[in-house]
Structure 1
């Protein structure tokens, strides 16, 4: 993945989140406590797989990523690019990296790679800004 694609992903994340935040009064519809509980459970379940030799594209890992994506969709349904942008944000934002890596020191990189596989293969994404709506 080139830098221009990653830049597109960062831009998509920023634009889509800003639009969603504005349209939902800062995501007031989201039960944030439940979201954080669900992410906590998910991250605790996935971390043993990092030491067990699992690969980002393995079926079990992709099922974890599907659950992660479903939690994200409680806020809004991102495009593929915005979802990849979220993985970049996890890696590039110091607080997000520290939070995720508190579960396992390799979680950010592993989750980022798994999200990229999911985005390439998955369905259920919103159309990106460059895609025509059907």
Structure 2
């Protein structure tokens, strides 16, 4: 995978591996933490809400997924996700794929901006390829 490709064009075998990593890591984490009982889920949702408002504003302003300011926002996204468990590079990409493939996840994310899932997925791919 190259840093400039879109999450929607990820290689099929890579996508399978990433989906599997997400499932395996989440399952192990859920079991080890009594269903993520250590996480303040209300705070996580507030933090993601605030972050997605910032990302939506960046999209509207013409930002690109690989812009440094966007990558800093994605670093915050990864940090929020890491309150549950620190996803591996593959699991983080699996999360990006999930956002686009699960209808409810897509609808929720795209409620912030009609291009949120596409933009977020590509930004997450860049982040994973350069920082994880």
Q: Which TM-score applies when normalising by structure 2?
A: 0.91
Q: Hey, what does 1:37 align to over in structure 2?
A: 46
Task: Give the Cα–Cα distance (whole angstroms) in 1 for the partners of residues 55 and 62 of structure 2.
Answer: 12
**1:94 alignment partner, one of 74, 98, 103:** 103
**2:73 alignment partner, one of 51, 56, 64:** 64
The CA deviation string for residues 17-65 of structure 1, in whole angstroms up to 9 with x for no partner, is: 0000000000000000000000000001110111222111100100000
Q: Aligned ranges for residues 75-86 of structure 1 at < 5 Å?
A: 75-86=84-95
Task: Give the Cα–Cα distance (whole angstroms) in 2 for the partners of residues 49 and 70 of structure 1.
Answer: 19
Task: Give the Cα–Cα distance (whole angstroms) in 2 for the partners of residues 48 and 19 of structure 1.
Answer: 35
Runs of 4+ more than 6 Å apart: none
Q: Which TM-score applies when normalising by structure 1?
A: 0.90
Higher relative contact order (CA 8 A, sep 6+): 2
1:48 and 2:57 correspond: yes
Aligned residues: 123
1:11 and 2:27 correspond: no
Q: Aligned ranges for residues 14-25 of structure 1 at < 5 Å?
A: 14-25=23-34
Query: Which structure shows the higher helix fraction?
Result: 2
Structure 1, unmatched stretches of 5+, are: 124-134
Structure 2, unmatched stretches of 5+, are: 1-9
